[in-house]
Amino acid sequence: MASIEDHEYLKICAQLATCLSISLASARKKVEFVAAKEGVKDLPSRRSIAERLLQKALSQKASDEGWKAAEFDQLLEALAEDDNFMVED
């Protein structure tokens, strides 16, 4: 993938990467994949796709925030059969 030097595009991709907890390269590939799927090749269209994906990720993150915290708490709870489990080095 050729390097795109548009700073606004890279900034949006970096925000997307942060929101999704993925690398910048993965976020750019995600945008490139959607752009290829939609058949767009110009930079302004890719920027709008990146903005759209970012808004979608932010809204999903906001709605799932409480759910993910509860799921994480549930994963950290010890099961009855694991109460006395000890890890040896």
Q: What is the pLDDT of residues 56-80, one digit of tens each?
A: 988 887 776 666 666 777 777 766 6
CA 61: distance to chain centroid?
9
Other residues' Cβ atoms within 10 Å of the Cβ of residue 4: 15
Residue 44 CA to residue 88 CA, distance in Å, equals 55
**Structural domain boundaries, residue 25:** 7-64
Looking at residues 23-34, what average pLDDT do you find? 94
Phi-psi region of 39 (alpha: psi -120 to 50; beta: other; left: phi over 0): left
pLDDT in tens, 34-52: 999 999 989 999 999 999 9
- Is residue 49, in this structure, part of any structural domain at all? yes
- Is residue 79, in this structure, part of any structural domain at all? no
- Average pLDDT of the chain, as a whole number: 82
- In this predicted structure, the answer to whether residue 6 has a pLDDT above a threshold of 70 is yes
- In this predicted structure, the answer to whether residue 30 has a pLDDT above a threshold of 90 is yes
Q: How many domains in the chain?
A: 1
Residue 16 burial (C-beta neighbours within 10 Å; 0-12, 13-18, 19+): buried
